[in-house]
Chains A and B, each alone.
Chain A
Amino acid sequence: MIEGILVHALVCLEVVLVSHLLAMKMFTKYNHTDERYLISISFGLFWFLLGLSYLCIGLYLIIAAYHGTSQISSTLLYWGFSSLALITAPLAFFIIQILIGDKRVSLAASCSFMMVGLIFIFLLFRYGVDVADIGSWSVDFKMHTLLLLIFIYGSYIPAIAMIMALIPFVALKTISNLRKYKITMSLISLSLAYDFTLLGVMNIGDFERLLFDVMILIGALIAYLGYFPPDGIVEWLRGPDTLVEPVDFGKWDDDI
Chain B
Amino acid sequence: MTDGIDPEWELEVAEFYRSLGITQGPGDVQYRLIALVLAKNGVGRLTRFSEIREYTDRVTDKGNIGSKMKTVFQLQGLVKRIGRGEYVLTEKGAIAAEFIKKTSKYYSEVKLTQKIIERFP
Binding site for B on A (CB under 8 A): 26, 29-30, 35-36, 39-40, 43, 97-99, 101, 169, 172, 174-175, 179, 182-183, 227, 247, 249, 251-252
Contacts and interface: CB of A to CB of B under 8 A. Distances in A.
Interface of B: 20, 110, 113-121
A29 B110 CA distance: 27
B116 A36 contact: no
B119 A101 contact: yes
Contacts of A36: 118-121
Nearest to B110: A174
Contacts of B110: 174
Greatest chain A CB density within 10 A among B20, B110, B114 is at B114
Contact of A251 (B20, B113, B118, B121): B118
A26 B12 CA distance: 35
A30 B121 contact: yes
A73 B110 CA distance: 54
Nearest to B20: A247
Given A30-B121, A36-B121, A43-B121, A98 B116 contact: yes
Nearest to B19: A248
A40 B121 CA distance: 6
B113 A98 contact: no
Given A172-B113, A174-B110, A174-B113, A183 B118 contact: no
Contacts of A175: 117
A35 B117 contact: no
Given A172-B113, A174-B113, A252-B114, A183 B120 contact: yes
B101 to A, nearest CB: 21
27 contacts: A29-B121, A35-B118, A36-B118, A36-B120, A36-B121, A40-B121, A43-B121, A97-B119, A98-B116, A98-B119, A98-B120, A101-B115, A101-B119, A169-B113, A169-B116, A169-B117, A172-B113, A174-B110, A174-B113, A179-B117, A182-B120, A183-B120, A227-B121, A249-B114, A251-B114, A252-B114, A252-B118
